[in-house]
Structure 1
Amino acid sequence: MTHQPLDLSSAAETADRSPRAGLTLLCEVRQGSRPWATARLEDLSPGGFRIARLPSARAELPLRIRIPGLQLLSAEIRWVRDGAVGCAFAEPLHVAVFDHIVRNADPA
């Protein structure tokens, strides 16, 4: 039996084409034992999101996020720029969950 090498380039291309929505949604975020803070979530995709401003964010700590109507989610901070924070969900959102959030959020 022979095995073909896994073509990761096609997986990366698929990830780049995932749906993305510009929206405005208030949520709550927390890192470590810090208190929950209200944050404005923007630019959502099934794989991640951007928070408009989170000045105390530390990339080395996981982020917990509570989006209204959903269970508690975990994410990693991937970048911080001018107070904005880009995050990747620990587990991507199911497309139906993503669609539900987009339908119920204010457009950006």
Structure 2
Amino acid sequence: MKHEPIDQPGALAGRSAPRAGVTLICEVRQGSRPWTRARLEDLSPGGFRIARLPGARAELPLRIRIPGMQMLSADIRWMREGAVGCEFAEPLHVAVFEHIVRNAD
């Protein structure tokens, strides 16, 4: 797994939270669908990007299990070419964010 700072084109104006390009495998689900493995490629305390999530529906909340973390809830904010951008229901504490990034090696 790798991590590196990224500057995402088209990112929300005024976004000041730290962001990290990470690559880690997590599990996600929407509604009553089964858990599925997905590659998380971008993380900030406020949200994340999943590389590919077939069948994702923006109107349904998403649940995500990041290794070593409790299950978290998020809402899909955008979908492009199979990728999805999500916002956590409750932002990660910056120390939790830094711990995930550190352990994504």
Write the deviation string for residues 55-89 of structure 1: whole angstroms up to 9, x where unpaired.
Answer: 11000000000001000000000000000000000
User: What is the one-letter code of the residue matched to 1:93?
Assistant: L
> Deviations for 1:17-60, whole angstroms, at most 9, x for unmatched residues?
10000010100000000000000001100000000000110000
| Superposition TM-score, scaled by structure 1 size | 0.84
1:50-61 map, 5 Å: 50-61=49-60
The residue aligned with 1:65 is 64
The SS at the match of 2:56 is: coil
CA–CA distance in structure 2, aligned partners of residues 76 and 19 of structure 1: 19
Aligned-pair Cα RMSD in Å: 1.0
- Residue 35 (1) aligns with residue 34 (2): yes
Structure exhibiting the larger radius of gyration computed from Cα positions: 1
1:89 corresponds to: 88
Q: Runs in 1 of length 4+ with deviation above 6 angstroms?
A: none
* Matches of 1:65 and 1:74, distance apart in 2: 6
Counterpart code for 1:50: R
Partners of 2:43 and 2:58 lie apart in 1 by 19
Q: In the aligned structure 1, how far is the partner of 2:87 from the partner of 2:41?
A: 13
Unaligned runs of 5+ in 1: 1-11
| 1:6-27 CA-partner distances (Å, limit 9, x unpaired) | xxxxxx84xx110000010100
**What is the TM-score when the length of structure 2 is the normalising length?**
0.86
Where 1:22 maps in the other structure, the secondary structure is strand
Structure 2 CA distance for aligned equivalents of residues 44 and 105 of structure 1: 11
Q: Aligned residues: percent identity? A: 83
- C-alpha separation between the residues in 2 aligned to 1:63 and 1:27? 12
